Structure 1
């Protein structure tokens, strides 16, 4: 059965469609650094975002951009998800996930990881966090879409990806504005090897 929302979605984002390997990717979420808006809550809450436009000409970054397909995840025959980080329009991180039999949150997991630009990250990697909810403790940390290897005191924290959303107990996640998209390069120390990106894009591939 085809849904009107699904048909409208395909028409709206035709200009954004990207061919990658054998998958056709449809962007459904675009988030921006430093706008004070939670990425995790925006992903889950339509009213917090602007609609994702058909032609992605960003005129302002006051709100993240979101397509309502996210709210109809299980109806849309989504089979793959791609997460990308960009810095000044250059892709710096990418990851793909198997999405069959998932919902709009649990697809982001080590079990579902398919491929990644992190050459040392796989379904067999040792992690203490790998989820969209990440690690969230009021007034201590708010680390979303968090892929962490270990916590052994702030100087010895290691991992791959973190969206820092609020002031953090550790210096490596302390910034003047949030959210901040943090990833590690080469080594996995958040203190020595971390860099930041300015834009997050999440895309889906589905059975048409």
Structure 2
């Protein structure tokens, strides 16, 4: 499936524009259906995919900034994971993490989570919360995985997953693209099998960083924004 014009326009903004002082700086982008290397392998490997000033030349690929490989030297303060969907207007769901003294893997953790679209994520148990995700079952590679529990495929519950295969469980087959991004549209976790429309599919997933100021960890706004909303971020940072 080709990226929509809206997706392509967004990519130009996300990747082709140099970040202003204390702005969010995109360093990674996941596109569904591009195949090739697994998302987690692109993130963890030493190579980068920097499209320079014109990301539209190579739109159908994951983007990885060279900054990812310099993570521990950047003074990262905050990290944001943004899920974009375009089916009924533009929606953005943000997860904000404390990036201080982190590396390119351990920032994505429950302990560092500041805010998310899900009210139960900080209090519920999780059996997986990591970028590598599911590594024990080679038939079911899943990355950027935030999962509540396994109990046989029909009883799997969670919040976010990048599905890296054609489907080990039936719930992974709701979208035939590899990879694809599933998330809970509820304010809590969702049953991946029986969730129906409460299981969302993101059109783009972006990881962004802030490397200036300091984290105040004040959360004044629910991190679900619509395209016409221009409020504060889910966590603030002082210059």
Q: TM-score range by the shorter chain?
A: 0.7 to 0.9
CA distance in 2, matches of 1:136, 1:142: 6
Question: Scaled by the length of structure 1, what TM-score is found?
Answer: 0.82
Q: Which residue of structure 1 lines up, in the alignment, with residue 152 of structure 2?
A: 153
CA distance in 1, matches of 2:17, 2:176: 35
**Are residue 102 (structure 1) and residue 110 (structure 2) matched?**
no
Q: Which residue of structure 2 lines up, in the alignment, with residue 28 of structure 1?
A: 27
CA distance in 1, matches of 2:44, 2:208: 15
Pairing 1:33-52 to 2, within 5 Å after superposition: 33-37=32-36, 38-45=38-45, 47=47, 50-52=49-51
Q: Which residue of structure 2 lines up, in the alignment, with residue 196 of structure 1?
A: 201
Query: Alpha-carbon deviation of 1:167?
Result: 2.6
CA distance in 2, matches of 1:91, 1:114: 20
Q: Which residue of structure 1 lines up, in the alignment, with residue 117 of structure 2?
A: 117
Query: Alpha-carbon deviation of 1:90?
Result: 2.2
CA distance in 2, matches of 1:16, 1:96: 21
Query: Alpha-carbon deviation of 1:18?
Result: 7.4
Gaps of 5+ in 2: 1-14, 214-239
Call closer, same or farther: CA 1:18–1:141 in 2, change over 3 Å. Answer: farther
Query: Alpha-carbon deviation of 1:16?
Result: 5.2
**Are residue 64 (structure 1) and residue 69 (structure 2) matched?**
no
Number of aligned residue pairs: 191
Q: Which residue of structure 2 lines up, in the alignment, with residue 8 of structure 1?
A: none
Cα RMSD (Å)? 2.5
SS in 2 for 1:141: coil
CA distance in 2, matches of 1:24, 1:121: 26
Question: Scaled by the length of structure 2, what TM-score is found?
Answer: 0.72
